Amino acid sequence: KAGVTQTPRYLIKTRGQQVTLSCSPISGHRSVSWYQQTPGQGLQFLFEYFSETQRNKGNFPGRFSGRQFSNSRSEMNVSTLELGDSALYLCASSPTVSMNTEAFFGQGTRLTVV
């Protein structure tokens, strides 16, 4: 069974631009969560989607948004990029939103804002 696939793996953008990252969950998984990892802040929760609905949101500005499609694939978008948005963005998928089910992470997208 294929794992969580994130594309692209690496991305370089300029300040002020916007970016869209993609996540394809494990087949059959309906929950997708996004995390940001930086050296200073560590791994921080961005948002969680289940059945195309945002179920939970972390403490990030409105420039960070996401969505989930009917096939459970998810995208996250960051508008008006800032240098501080440079990070590893990780996506995790789970079969459901139950607390008793593990989340599997992709390899992440490394975003560099210059």
Give the nearer residue to other proteins in terms of CB position, either 27 or 80: 27
Closest C-alpha to 4, from 93, 82, 111, 78: 93
> Hey, how many other C-beta atoms are within 10 angstroms of the C-beta on 90?
21
Q: What is the binding site for other proteins (CB under 8 A)?
A: 4, 33, 35, 42-45, 48, 50, 55-56, 58, 88, 90, 92, 94, 97-108, 110
Collapsing DSSP states into helix, strand and coil, what is residue 84?
A: helix
Give the nearer residue to other proteins in terms of CB position, either 45 or 79: 45
Give the nearer residue to other proteins in terms of CB position, either 33 or 74: 33
- Kindly state the smallest distance separating residue 55's Cβ from other proteins, in Å: 4
